[in-house]
């Protein structure tokens, strides 16, 4: 049993404080007899009668092989018999590019459907515990729906990742007996996380840098006035790449760090620009922040502007710090938090099935 995963899962489940305490104690001890475990599962069953809680709890505490076989229903009936009555096996699958996608089972609650898919690398060695669907999945039904996807577990021995998909039909349309088409086009895996100090001397950051006008592809800000102005403009004046650049990790480059006037004002703010390589294939992303070496105080950027690079696939992201004056910046060090990826698997996986109780 993966006790760390179980502890993480309880944070997302709406249980009583008493029940969460019981699970936390069990995780800390790391050894539970079969009889004790069954009693805890029984108490959990009484405390958590929603289908979401039952399914997630089973998936994170039992082997994923049971999920992708008939054994899943046996386990569900064993621990949650009253829930299992609303849970229907689907067990339809397709294969492409050496990857198998199986829709395992589904549950229907009025206008809400939750189903589990198992993605298995039949060749092995290509997907890992970081795999996700790269927002490439499509769900087609007769009704307009909203959807959410969450990875539930990963089994290293079988190279199988399990995801829970939840869809909600608009206008409270009931989904029972509706046909659902679920398709995936891309799998992203091989992710790495970097968080460390970046080799930028904050005492040498210059003023009045050269800039270039770029077509914005995105923007954000915690400052309402700045956010309003960014929304009204199709283009933004962004820093030009400097002669000296910094590569904190493969796929991420610090291309500029300067003080410049903010949008619509004369105050100078710190701007740090990052280039994320080939985001269409890697989903490289992250952010930079300032950290005081003595106090540990952290200052996050309050705004950012993004624009595609000259190659059309990489992206510049310019982070703007509004809450610190230039004279105080040398007291801080620059840190970065980045996620990079090295493997994109493409294919055409589609399963059509009927949503039945």
Report the alpha-carbon distance of residue 332 to residue 199 in Å, rounded.
12
Quickly state the pLDDT bin for 3 (edges 50, 70, 90): very low
Task: List the CATH number of the domain containing 108.
Answer: 2.60.40.1630
Q: Is residue 9 part of a domain?
A: no
* Residue with token string 């895996």: 189
Cβ neighbour number for residue 112 with a 10 Å cutoff: 17
CA 109 to chain centre: 26
- Tell whether 202 and 311 lie within a shared domain: yes
Average pLDDT score over residue span 21-26: 43
Residue 272, judged by CB atoms within 10 A of its CB (0-12, 13-18, 19+), counts as buried
| 186 and 58 within one domain | yes
DSSP three-state, residue 184: strand
Model pLDDT, residue 75: 58
Residue 186 resides in a domain:
yes
CB atoms inside a 10 Å sphere around CB 85: 11
53 and 147 fall within a common domain: yes
- Residue 137 is assigned to a structural domain of this protein: yes
Does residue 202 share a domain with residue 141? no
pLDDT confidence of residue 84: 61
Same domain flag for 119 and 152: yes
pLDDT (average), residues 110-132 = 92
Closest by alpha carbon to 338, among 134, 221, 192, 131? 192
Q: Which of 35-49, 97-111, 130-144, 157-171 has the lowest mean pLDDT?
A: 35-49
Element (H, E) at 206: strand 206-207
Answer for the pair 290, 298: CB distance below 8 angstroms, yes or no. Answer: yes
* Residue 209 resides in a domain: yes
3-state secondary structure of 310: coil
For 156-178, letters b (16+ CB in 10 Å) and e give eebbbbbbbbbbbbeeeeebeeb
pLDDT at position 245 over 60: yes
- H/E element holding 224? helix 224-232
Judge whether 218 lies within some domain: yes
Confidence of residue 279 (pLDDT cuts 50, 70, 90): very high
Bridge partners of 286, per DSSP, are 338
**Maximum alpha-carbon separation in the chain:** 70
Q: pLDDT grade, residue 232 (50/70/90)?
A: confident
Q: What is the pLDDT of residue 40?
A: 37
- The verdict on 184 and 204 lying in the same domain is no
- The C-alpha atoms of residue 14 and residue 4 are separated, in whole angstroms, by 18
Model confidence over 44-99: pLDDT tens digits? 333 333 445 455 555 444 444 444 444 455 655 676 676 666 678 898 999 999 99
Average pLDDT, the chain: 80
pLDDT of residue 9: 42
Count: domains in the chain: 2
Closest by CA to 173, choosing from 140, 138, 143, 141, is 143
Determine what percent of the chain is predicted with pLDDT higher than 90.
53
Domain range enclosing 101: 49-193
- How much is the pLDDT for 307? 96
Predicted pLDDT at 11: 43
Per-residue pLDDT, 79 = 66
The band of 340, judged by pLDDT with boundaries at 50, 70 and 90, is very high
Mean pLDDT check: name the lowest of 47-51, 128-132, 266-270, 271-275.
47-51
Coil, helix or strand for 58? helix
The larger pLDDT score, comparing residue 86 to residue 25, is at 86
* 323/224 same-domain check: yes
The tens digit of pLDDT for each residue in 29-40 reads: 333 333 333 433
E-assigned strand segments in 77-111: 87-96, 99-109
What is d(CA 36, CA 58) in angstroms, rounded to the nearest whole number? 16
- Asked if residue 24 is part of any domain, the answer here is no
Q: Is the pTM of this model over 0.85?
A: no
Domain boundary among 175, 193, 211: 193
Q: Which positions ≥6 away from 1 have C-beta within 8 Å?
A: 61
Return the SS3 of 25.
helix
């Amino acid at each position: 049993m993966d006790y760390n995963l179980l502890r993480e899962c309880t944070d997302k489940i709406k249980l009583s404080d008493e029940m969460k305490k019981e699970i936390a104690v069990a995780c800390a001890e790391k050894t539970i007899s079969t009889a004790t475990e069954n009693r805890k599962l029984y108490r959990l069953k009484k405390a958590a009668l929603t289908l979401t809680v039952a399914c997630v709890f089973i998936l994170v505490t039992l082997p994923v092989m049971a999920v992708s076989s008939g054994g899943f229903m046996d386990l569900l009936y064993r621990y949650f018999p009253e829930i299992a009555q609303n849970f229907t096996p689907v067990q339809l699958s397709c294969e492409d590019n050496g990857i198998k996608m199986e829709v395992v089972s589904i549950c229907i609650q009025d206008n809400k459907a939750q189903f589990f898919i198992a993605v298995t690398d039949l060749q092995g060695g290509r997907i890992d515990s970081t795999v996700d669907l790269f927002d490439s999945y499509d769900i087609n039904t007769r009704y307009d729906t909203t959807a959410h996807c969450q990875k539930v577990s990963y089994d290293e021995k079988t190279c199988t990742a399990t995801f829970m998909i939840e869809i909600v039909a608009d206008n409270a349309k009931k989904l029972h007996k509706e046909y659902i088409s679920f398709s995936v086009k891309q799998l992203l895996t091989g992710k790495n996380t970097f968080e460390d100090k970046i080799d930028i001397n904050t005492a040498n950051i210059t003023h009045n840098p050269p800039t270039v006008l770029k077509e914005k592809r995105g923007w954000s800000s915690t400052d309402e006035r700045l956010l309003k102005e960014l929304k009204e403009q199709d283009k933004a004046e962004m820093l030009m790449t400097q002669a000296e650049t910094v590569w904190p990790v493969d796929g991420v480059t610090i291309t500029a760090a300067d003080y410049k006037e903010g949008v619509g004002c004369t105050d100078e703010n710190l701007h740090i620009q990052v280039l994320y390589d080939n985001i269409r294939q890697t989903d490289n992303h992250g952010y930079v922040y300032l950290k005081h070496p003595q106090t540990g105080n952290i200052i996050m950027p309050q705004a950012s502007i993004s624009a595609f690079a000259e190659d059309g696939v990489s992206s510049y992201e310019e982070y703007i710090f509004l809450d610190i004056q230039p004279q105080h910046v040398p007291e801080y060090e620059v840190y970065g938090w980045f996620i990079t990826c090295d493997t994109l698997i493409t294919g055409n996986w589609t399963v059509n099935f009927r949503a039945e109780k």
